Structure 1
Amino acid sequence: MNNEKLPGDYVAGLVDGEGCFYLMYRHETKRNRTNKTTYYRWIPYFCINVREDDKDLIQKVSNTLSCGKIYLLKKRKKQNNWGDTVWFGVQNIDDVYNKIIPFFKKFPLRGKKKFDFELWEKAVKIIYDHKHKEPPFRWTHGLGRGQWRLKPYTSKEHNLLQEIRQKMRQFKANRDKEYKNQPVSI
Structure 2
Amino acid sequence: MDLKPDWVVGFVDGEGCFYVGVSRNRTMKTGYQVLPEFRIVQHKRDIQVLYALRKFFGCGVVRKNHDDRYELRIRKRSCLKKVVEFFEKHPLKTKKNVDFKKFRRILIMMERGEHLTKEGLIKILEIAMEMNTGNHERLKRTLEEIRGLDEDTVHPHSERVG
| TM-score > 0.5, shorter chain as reference | yes
Q: Give, in whole Å, the separation in 2 of the partners of 1:26 and 1:5.
A: 37
Q: How many pairs align?
A: 134
The aligned runs of 1:71-86 (5 Å cut-off) are: 71-75=63-67, 84-86=68-70
Structure 1 unmatched ranges of 5 or more: 31-36, 76-83, 132-151, 175-186
Shift of 1:173: 4.9
Any idea what SS the aligned residue of 1:56 has?
helix
Shift of 1:20: 0.4
Residue identity (%):
27
Q: Paired residue for 1:96, among 80, 83, 87?
A: 80
Q: Is the 8 A contact 1:62 1:88 kept in 2?
A: yes
Deviations 1:119-166 (A, max 9, x none): 1110011112229xxxxxxxxxxxxxxxxxxxx712331121011111
Deviations 1:88-136 (A, max 9, x none): 0101112112x010011111111111101111110011112229xxxxx
Structure 2 unmatched ranges of 5 or more: 136-162
Cα distance change of structure 1 residues 107 and 38 upon mapping to structure 2, 3 Å threshold: closer
Normalised by the length of structure 1, the TM-score is: 0.66
Task: Name the amino acid aligned to 1:14.
Answer: F
Q: Paired residue for 1:130, among 91, 113, 124?
A: 113
When Rg is computed on C-alpha atoms for both structures, the one with the higher figure is 1
Considering fraction of residues, name the structure with more strand.
1
Q: Paired residue for 1:15, among 12, 16, 28?
A: 12
Q: Paired residue for 1:156, among 110, 119, 124?
A: 119
Query: Is 2:9 the partner of 1:6?
Result: no
1:115 alignment counterpart: 98
2:128 alignment counterpart: 165
Q: Give, in whole Å, the separation in 2 of the partners of 1:29 and 1:122.
A: 25
Any idea what SS the aligned residue of 1:111 has?
coil
Considering fraction of residues, name the structure with more helix.
2
Runs of 4+ in 1 over 4 A off after TM superposition: none
Q: Give, in whole Å, the separation in 2 of the partners of 1:88 and 1:96.
A: 13
2:23 alignment counterpart: 26
